[in-house]
Structure 1
Amino acid sequence: MWLLVVSAPLLPAIFMVSRRYRVKVSALCHRALAWALRLLRGRVCVKSTHAFVFSRCTHGKADSVLQTYDLYADTHPSLCISPHMSGVLEEVVQRVRPPLVLELGMHCGYSSVRLLRLLPPAGRLFTVELDPLTAELGEEIILVSGFKHSQFQVLTSSSAEAIHTLPSLLTDLDEGSSEGFSLVLMDHDPQQYLPDLLSLEREELLRPSGCSVLLIHRKQRDLREILDHMRARPDCYCIKSERQGVTEIFCQKGSTGLDR
């Protein structure tokens, strides 16, 4: 009885704590389930897309591979970026002419092929994919498109792990490439956009003279966190362009008065 009397005043606090953690656990479980479903759906999509493109494209021809991708996307659900997004991507690559590109989120290899076909002769692409099956099939499509391993490298890991290993990989490249990336494409988990951007800065992987970062998003709220960070540092960031599904930001270390 005395235990009930002593603990009675604590009941509201106990109830609030249990409710608070129940909400957190529920949110965590919901996120884990969503991730698992997204991974499963992504694997099914990648396998279907790979089979279609591999069997119908002209091997060794990047344009044929992309046209076959577009044909597939016309009649099937696909993780490939849309034709509109592809146009924005190509416009940025042609303007920036990057010698070194980082892609976070390889998916089916569609954007990888679009990037590679526009890089300068000595250009190189590092593309990151978390799922081993997706990475394997995407790499095969890149090779089918006619590109060689000397032009690209697939990193099968989380984006955070890949960024940590990139400095040692860049030391083996020529002097121009070792300055860092002048173009980064982020098309993975939007919740990782800001942490990965900060990691790229810490590892000094962004070219000091300036780096364009393309953010692919399905919902504008996906960019809320990273855009808030940018607004707090106007001396280092500016928004270059905002088009449907694609936001281009420009990062330049210690710069001032960036043009919008």
Structure 2
Amino acid sequence: MTVEMWLLAVSAPLLPAIVAVSSRYGDKVSTLCHRAVAWLLRLVRGGVCARRTHAFVFSSCTHGNVHSVLETFDLYADTHASAAIGPETGEVLDDVVKRVRPSRVLELGTHCGYSSVRVLRLLPPAGRLVTVELDPLTADLGEEIILVAGFKHAQFQVLTSSSAEVIPTLHSVLEPAQKSSDGFSLVLMDHDAQQFLPDLLALEEEELLCSSGCSVLLINRRQRAEDLREILDHVRVRPDCFCVKMERPCVVEIFYQKDKAGL
């Protein structure tokens, strides 16, 4: 059974109620239902993709060898749909990590663990990655791949939650001695593009963006400019603390700095 057929089977019993509510509230309900189905479809497809990618990488790579893990990911992506961002976007990510030299990284959207592995291999010995994944099964698969690559739990933490729910709790994830103003110096957003702006605002509100400078990478998987329009419009009207540092079809880098003089 395809994902689309499964969704139809699940939603069929709800159709009478949906029709009744839609007749009263019209377009608002229709739009809401469309967004809910689209979100569920992305979630299910992402889980299926992560399972298949995980199975191939786990069985084909050399365990404990980070380079083998990444090469196996890329080999799989040559012939299959993959949740991994791929080597091209991965090299852009590498360049940013090397330039920023972060000690604390936040990743929103673990997926199959590919980006997590790329980031972790470039962090300093005391560096740490916090990665967030909405789907519990995908989170478990991604965590296993990170461990297969040779990294230890002391170097990373996988949180299973929505980004909106997890952001207010991230202070407790950082070391107790670490001040909130010295939060994450690199944030990777690779989840729902509709959450990019709300999550950026929440991270700023919670003072989780390093005040001396934080790079926020937006992964534009569909490479559609309209997916990033809202967050980029917001950034461009706030030159006091934001600027667009790099803009490519697959990835955009936003730079945050609380001190305007540093921009």
Q: Same fold (TM over 0.5)?
A: yes
Structure 2's unaligned 5+ residue stretches are 1-21
Q: Which residue is equivalent to 1:72?
A: 76
SS in 2 for 1:150: helix
Q: Which residue is equivalent to 1:215?
A: 218
Distance in 2 separating the partners of 1:238 and 1:222:
18
* Equivalent residue in structure 2 for 1:247, among 235, 244, 252: 252
Distance in 1 separating the partners of 2:179 and 2:240:
25
Alignment of 1:167-206 (within 5 A): 167-172=171-176, 175=178, 179-206=182-209
Give the 3 Å change call, closer, same or farther, for CA 178–99 of structure 1 in structure 2.
farther
Give the 3 Å change call, closer, same or farther, for CA 20–184 of structure 1 in structure 2.
farther
- Conservation of the 8 A alpha-carbon contact between 1:99 and 1:177: no
The answer to whether residue 212 in structure 2 is matched with residue 234 in structure 1 is no
Q: What letter matches 1:155 in structure 2?
A: L
107-116 or 228-237, which deviates more: 228-237
Structure 1 residue 256: Cα displacement: 4.0
SS in 1 for 2:26: helix
List 4+ stretches of structure 1 deviating above 4 A: none
Deviations 1:215-251 (A, max 9, x none): 0112111111111111111111111111221000100
Q: Which residue is equivalent to 2:140?
A: 136
SS in 1 for 2:188: strand
Deviations 1:71-99 (A, max 9, x none): 00000011211321101000000001000
Alignment of 1:55-70 (within 5 A): 55-70=59-74
TM-score by length of 1: 0.89
Deviations 1:180-235 (A, max 9, x none): 00000000000100000010011100111010000011211111111111111111
Give the 3 Å change call, closer, same or farther, for CA 201–97 of structure 1 in structure 2.
same
Q: Which residue is equivalent to 2:11?
A: none
Taking only aligned residues, the RMSD between alpha carbons, in angstroms, comes to: 1.7
Distance in 2 separating the partners of 1:94 and 1:21:
52
Q: Which residue is equivalent to 2:165?
A: 161
- Conservation of the 8 A alpha-carbon contact between 2:51 and 2:141: yes
Give the 3 Å change call, closer, same or farther, for CA 177–93 of structure 1 in structure 2.
farther
Distance in 1 separating the partners of 2:218 and 2:260:
21
Number of positions where the alignment pairs a residue of Structure 1 with one of Structure 2: 240
Distance in 2 separating the partners of 1:201 and 1:22:
36
Q: What letter matches 1:76 in structure 2?
A: H
* Equivalent residue in structure 1 for 2:130, among 122, 126, 129: 126
Distance in 2 separating the partners of 1:43 and 1:230:
32
- Conservation of the 8 A alpha-carbon contact between 2:53 and 2:83: no
Q: What letter matches 2:164 in structure 1?
A: A
Structure 1 residue 19: Cα displacement: 8.0
The answer to whether residue 121 in structure 2 is matched with residue 117 in structure 1 is yes
Alignment of 1:23-42 (within 5 A): 23-42=27-46
- Conservation of the 8 A alpha-carbon contact between 1:235 and 1:257: no
Q: What letter matches 2:218 in structure 1?
A: L
Q: Which residue is equivalent to 1:100?
A: 104
Q: Which residue is equivalent to 1:46?
A: 50
SS in 2 for 1:229: helix
Structure 1 residue 178: Cα displacement: 7.1
Structure 1's unaligned 5+ residue stretches are 1-17
Give the 3 Å change call, closer, same or farther, for CA 55–176 of structure 1 in structure 2.
farther
